[in-house]
Structure 1
Amino acid sequence: MRLIILIGLLLLSAQSLATVYRWVDENGKVHYSDEPKNNAEAIDLNENTQNNITINIPKKLNVTPTTETQINYTISITSPQQEATVRDNNGNFTVSASVAPELPRGVLLTLLIDGVIIAQPQVSPVFQLTGINRGEHSLVVNAVTQSGKVLASSSPRKIFLHQASVFGPAKKSK
């Protein structure tokens, strides 16, 4: 049984070495086939017709590794001014900051009042605050990546929020 399979495989492999024919049609297009056609000529395939690929190994470049240049961002609070008194009975006021150079996409700004993040992280350097309690507060604006890394931070800005009290000074009676 094995002998029959071996003979069959040898016959198939001999058949695969068939002659290749080349001919040109009336439009000038060249055709190749294993079946003879009119005006076809047999082509002898030499070992030279096999594809040979040579791979050039790239030369190593003498490049010294460079450290990534880290961009230094500058954040400063532009409003309210240092030690300013903000007067609002509802505790509403606006904090504005400036950032240089422009932050890359995906970096957000956060506002901390007395070390606590008060507003949602945002792209805009203008924060609208509501319901802040009266008293002395420290403001800081941070540039934060989505992973939570702080890229830059402003200097702390001290402000005073003044709210009128119902309990005013006693009035003199007559």
Structure 2
Amino acid sequence: MRLLLAAISLAIAVPASAQIYQYIDQQGNRVYTDQPPEGIDATSVELPTVNTVDMQPPADNFTDPSLTADSDLDADAEPAIPYSTLELTGLPDDQAIRANNGDFTVQVAINPELASQDRLQLLVDGQAYGPAGHSTTINVINLSRGEHQLAVQVLSSDNQVLQTSAAQTVAIQRVHLGDRKPRPRSAP
């Protein structure tokens, strides 16, 4: 496929650099060609030079640690934080979440936008909860009642933790039916 693409590119480039001639045919039409017919007075067409753009070097403020030769020397340096904002939102500050079935939704505020190769992982009490994904809306299903610590992590494509949000304490309030005793029915 690459060889075919290279051959097509060369085929296009060669006529662009060839000499172009023009003449008037027997019907009075102006004709352009790279090979003038014999016995016809054809004039050479001067084409303007082709525009070219030189590749610009990267900006000085761009540094990619994977491209520097001495990136392994900075093992003691703190890793760069890829996201300036990473936090869970939509959680109440001073009240319990009433979720009788233990289901609720949390939002992730992240800035800049999540990179395509990164994924978000919800942590409940320090443990990964559910699959990691790209959505900033995370559904929590059947979480037990009581207090829990919630946080979110950004994972790279190779499951390395890039960044972790601050943990937030939430209280889940659920109806508990385990201690109910059946009441005797009264006679009519």
TM-score normalized with structure 1 length? 0.55
Structure 2 residue 143 is matched with structure 1 residue 136: no
CA change 1:83–1:145 in 2 (3 A) is farther
Structure 2 residue 82 is matched with structure 1 residue 72: yes
The alignment-based identity, stated in percent, is: 28
Q: Residue deviations 1:58-116, cap 9 Å, x none?
A: xxxxxx9x853745312011111335411112111111111001122110000010011
CA change 1:85–1:77 in 2 (3 A) is same
Q: Distance in 2 between matches of 1:106 and 1:68?
A: 16
CA change 1:151–1:136 in 2 (3 A) is same
Listed as ranges, the gaps of 5+ residues in structure 2 are: 1-37, 41-59, 66-79, 181-188
Give the corresponding residue for 2:48: none
Work out which of the two has the higher radius of gyration on C-alpha atoms and give 1 or 2.
1
Give the corresponding residue for 1:123: 134
* One-letter amino acid of the structure 2 residue matched with residue 72 of structure 1: P
8 A Cα contact 1:84 1:158, kept in partner: no
CA change 1:152–1:82 in 2 (3 A) is farther
Q: Distance in 2 between matches of 1:105 and 1:156?
A: 24
RMSD (CA atoms): 2.8
8 A Cα contact 2:81 2:163, kept in partner: no
Deviation at 1:150, TM superposition (A): 1.6
CA change 1:140–1:71 in 2 (3 A) is closer
2:159 pairs with 145, 148, 152, which one? 148
Q: Residue deviations 1:121-140, cap 9 Å, x none?
A: 11011111111111100001
How many residue pairs end up in the alignment? 111
SS at match of 1:119: strand
8 A Cα contact 1:140 1:155, kept in partner: yes
1:164 pairs with 155, 168, 175, which one? 175
Q: Distance in 1 between matches of 2:142 and 2:159?
A: 26
Q: Distance in 2 between matches of 1:82 and 1:152?
A: 23
TM-score normalized with structure 2 length? 0.51
Q: Distance in 2 between matches of 1:71 and 1:88?
A: 34
Q: Distance in 1 between matches of 2:173 and 2:81?
A: 39
8 A Cα contact 2:81 2:162, kept in partner: no
8 A Cα contact 2:87 2:108, kept in partner: yes
